[in-house]
Amino acid sequence: MNAVVELPAAQLERLSVGTALRGILAIPERAADAEKAVGMSTDDLRSLADGSIGIEIHRVNTLLGTTDHTLAPSRIFGAHVVLASVGAECWCAARGLSRCGANSAPLLPQHFDIEQIVREAFGNQREKQAILDVTGWDRSMPSKIIGPDKARITLEKLDRMMDALNYVLVPRVFYNAIRTLSVAGVYCQRAQLGAGVCGLDY
């Protein structure tokens, strides 16, 4: 069995929304899709990725949808990664054949609504202050971001906000795998027997 190697966080380069955006802008077809989805020209998207201009918070979900990444709360990866090996809807455990997992766990959402996360954070004094501390904004900025003014924020500030709220940017393929396996499990007996997938409707 291979040992798990834990790398010090300081040695790892954190993914950022700007990095993800620059990745798709390097591919003309992907850049064109992003331009159409977000409603910004390719030049503006490049300026956004470089930090020269900002974006309204309600358009961030659409922007992330054009990349190969998604934001997710870092806390989910503890329990859900453990469940991924066994599966919360373990077919064997449900039939008393083995003690390999829990009985139930909710399927993770397809994506987390960034605008909703920010709105809820601004309604919590502790989280709001944490955001103000890392961004350097004054106390009037939150209402400008989520209010009718729709103030734009740079991706650097967005990354700082998400970091303060313990959200991380992860490859979508990884998140989707955890999302599925946290319910089904890699040892899903139904799948191995050609009888469907534990806990999922397919």
Q: 């499990």: which residue's tokens?
A: 185
Q: Give the Cα separation of 26 and 151 in Å (integer).
A: 28
Q: Note whether 163 and 66 are within 8 A (CB).
A: no
Buried b (16+ CB within 10 A) or exposed e, 11-23: eeeebbbbbbbbe
The tens place of each residue's pLDDT in the chain, 202 residues long, gives 444 445 455 555 678 899 899 999 999 999 999 999 999 999 999 999 999 999 999 999 999 999 988 888 887 766 555 555 555 555 455 555 443 433 344 566 777 899 999 999 999 999 999 999 999 999 999 999 998 888 999 999 999 999 999 998 888 888 887 777 776 666 677 777 777 776 665 4
